[in-house]
Amino acid sequence: MTLVTIQSSDRFVANSAEIFQHYGVQMEVGYDFEAYRDILKFARPDQALGTPFDPDIHEMTPENALWMIGRNATGEIVHTQALRMLDMSGLTVAEYFSRRFREFPPAAPGLDLARSRFRAGPQAKRMRGTVCYNGEFWIKPGDATLRGQGLSCVLGRYAFFQAMQHWDPDHMVGFMAKPVACKGFPQRLGWMHTQPGALRWYFEGRDDPVEGFMTFMERDDLHYVLELPLNDLIALAA
């Protein structure tokens, strides 16, 4: 395990703890994805565990993956998120996802994987080294105290912090549907870079695809974002 700088680590821990307390959210980190799957059956029954984090498909160990959940004051799960280190085998991010993007589908039925495709951007072609994938981001719908109040600013950065504490990766990547990305959600979570047109997911019986953006960060970006004052970001997002 490689620790981030004292300045960014200590500042984020102190500020995020204060903000989580304000919203009444208690964060928990785990490594058993069978247990995580069982948790999701009750926490978000309409959205099962995503393929990228399915332990029946991928080898998930404490050395390469973790999940995060947030509980409110009554113990109800109101947030989920997960991280997984990718086995790059010396490939660039562009090469890896060109071959394996179908292993990272959205949580939607009726996908036509044969017609779907991944398009690598210029930066993806240059990104090498250790890569952490971020997914499973969910906030309980219908709770006005959690949505639209800036809490997502902290939750996104909490994933960055955990990735750096556990693996200190060279890069961090994720995927996001175009309608969500165009509303500024990547920036709210803390992502500094997005690539439009990275994914086109086709569905059976439909001609129009759903476009996905790739979000990505380098190690220096992660350090930079965690050093920004959280309270200022919360005020701007509220």
pLDDT of the residue at 233: 61
pLDDT of the residue at 8: 54
pLDDT of the residue at 148: 55
pLDDT of the residue at 144: 61
- List Cβ neighbours of 167 (8 Å cut-off, separation of 6 or more): 1, 2, 85, 130, 132
How many domains does the chain divide into? 1
- Per-residue pLDDT of the chain (238 residues), as tens digits, is 444 444 556 678 778 888 888 888 999 999 999 999 999 999 999 999 999 999 999 999 999 999 999 999 899 999 999 999 999 999 999 999 999 999 999 888 899 999 999 999 999 999 999 999 999 999 988 766 666 557 888 999 999 999 999 999 999 999 999 999 999 999 989 999 999 999 999 999 999 999 999 999 999 999 999 988 876 666 544 4
In a domain, 21, yes or no: yes
In a domain, 57, yes or no: yes
Phi, psi of 68, deg, nearest 5: -130, 135
Residue 125 is part of which domain span? 6-230
In a domain, 1, yes or no: no
Return the bridge partners of 142, or none: none
pLDDT of the residue at 21: 86
Please tell me the distance from the alpha carbon of residue 204 to that of residue 111, in angstroms, as a whole number: 6
Structural element, H or E, at residue 7: helix 6-23
In a domain, 178, yes or no: yes
In a domain, 40, yes or no: yes
Secondary-structure breakdown of the chain: helix, strand, coil percentages, each rounded to the nearest 5: 40, 25, 35
Instruction: Spell out the SS3 assignment of 74-128.
Output: CCCEEEEEEEEECCCCCCCHHHHHHHHHHHCCCCCCCEEEEEEEECCCHHHHHCC
Identify the CATH number of the domain in which residue 184 sits. 3.40.630.30
Please tell me the distance from the alpha carbon of residue 187 to that of residue 152, in angstroms, as a whole number: 10
pLDDT of the residue at 4: 44
- pTM here? 0.92
In a domain, 155, yes or no: yes
In a domain, 237, yes or no: no
Please tell me the distance from the alpha carbon of residue 139 to that of residue 119, in angstroms, as a whole number: 29
pLDDT of the residue at 19: 85
In a domain, 98, yes or no: yes
CA distances from 135 to 80, 113, 179, 187, 204 (A): 9, 19, 17, 16, 24
pLDDT of the residue at 12: 81
* Nearest Cα to Cα of residue 144 among 19, 18, 23, 15: 23
pLDDT of the residue at 219: 96
